[in-house]
Amino acid sequence: MLQVVQAFDRAPIEEIATDDAAALEAKLQAADKVFRDRDSWLKPHERIAILRKLGELLAGKRDHFARQIAREGGKPLADAIIETTRAIDGIHNAADELRNFAGREIPMGLTPAAAGRWAFTTKEPIGVVAAISAFNHPLNLIVHQVAPAIAVGCPVIIKPASTTPLCCRDFIALVHEAGLPEAWCQMFLPETNELAEALATDRRVAFLSFIGSAKVGWYLHSKLAHGARSALEHGGAAPAIVDRSADLDRIIEPLVKGGYYHAGQVCVSTQRIFVHQEIADAFTERLVARVAKLRTGDPTLKETEVGPLILPKEADRVASWIDEAVKGGAKLALGGKRLSETTLEPAVLLDPAADAKVSQLEVFGPLVCVYRYSKLDDAIAQANSLPVAFQGSVFAQDIDVALHAAERLDASAVMVNDPTAFRTDWMPFAGRKESGYGTGGIPYTMRDMTQEKMILLNRR
């Protein structure tokens, strides 16, 4: 049994049963069996109807899921409500995408040898999907892994984070209530990490969707069965460049949201802010004043803006990194105090050393670091200096500066006058270098979970 607790105060919520090796084998056998029986595959209109019904069922339980997210995951209730709304839209997005999800004609007759032939491609489901998810969006990430699989017709076995399994369990129950047979979508909560690896690397798994730590994701990627594909979504240390032309009255709010949303526990959370030295003092003064007003505490309260970290050891780690940076010469402009076992006061560090952990590694906590620069290309070089790269931002009213930075930042997406954490669920979402492999976003995941087959007709 697994004891699930509230992230904020560690109070017990519920005990939930875990799965052993026999349960894993049964789930894999069931998924493999339904996929091999091609006559049992659901037609597109049936999958659309299930997704539509699922969206309706989830909308009817919006408040339940929002509160569940806040309790087990620690996300402030206002943001948890937004997550639930996004999840509902994501389900409909997957259904809508099927209207234009098709193959294409392959031109023939371009050479004498190809004359008299007609060829086209179709899209087929790739096979059994193993999905390993993360705690920080315990409903919406599940939707991003499960809804595309349902849409394209892949059986999926989903492993939620052990800290936040309740949203996944309740969501999968709705999937079955919406009409999808159980073998096509199963939850797996392993009693050991070794069983999670066994799921991901089983020869019957055709596609691994992994959201979590780079160390684990790249390891599993290296162990996949031959022919299996994968999509990995890891973290970063997202940079934002603030040019001297930036409108300070307009940029503080998005930067604070980008840095402290879900206490910084987001893979594209704004972590490193590079500010032109001409406006650095004014910028820092405004930033610190706004961060000081953030309401930190119990995430189930409507007024809370910053909640806890997921585990006490994560709060320990972030606090130790802040202390190390200060000892190395950084100035702690605000915050860093321990408010509870899992909660830290939102912090701002000024000019930490380039080799400090907060400058080199993903903090995944309520902290942003501010660095001064005089030359734009120097700031870009520093922003690009890490082995991780995901999303970045540039804040500027000067369009030449904005485009210069956008073209040169090493990122899969660069937001101009928007925070690094901006995302819609239908846009491409991908880490570069060590930050990931493949492209997320519901339409893109649907493409990854299918394979094309060409059919050729000889008309002679």
Query: Any idea which residues carry the catalytic annotation?
Result: 233, 267
Could you report how far apart the first and last alpha carbons of the chain are, in Å?
65
- For residue 242, give Cα distances in angstroms to 248, 273, 351: 9, 7, 15
Neighbours of 452 (CB within 10 A): 12
**Phi, then psi, of 403 in degrees rounded to 5:** -75, -35
95/92 Cα distance (integer angstroms)? 5
- Per DSSP, helices labelled H in 280-398 are 280-292, 312-327, 357-360, 376-383
- For residue 232, give Cα distances in angstroms to 86, 147, 339, 362: 21, 17, 34, 16
Neighbours of 116 (CB within 10 A): 12
Q: Which two tokens stand for residue 240?
A: 């934002």
Is 222 in contact with 328 (CB distance < 8 Å)?
A: no
Q: Which two tokens stand for residue 7?
A: 């992230």
Neighbours of 427 (CB within 10 A): 14
Q: Which two tokens stand for residue 400?
A: 């030449």
**Which amino acid is it at 367?**
L
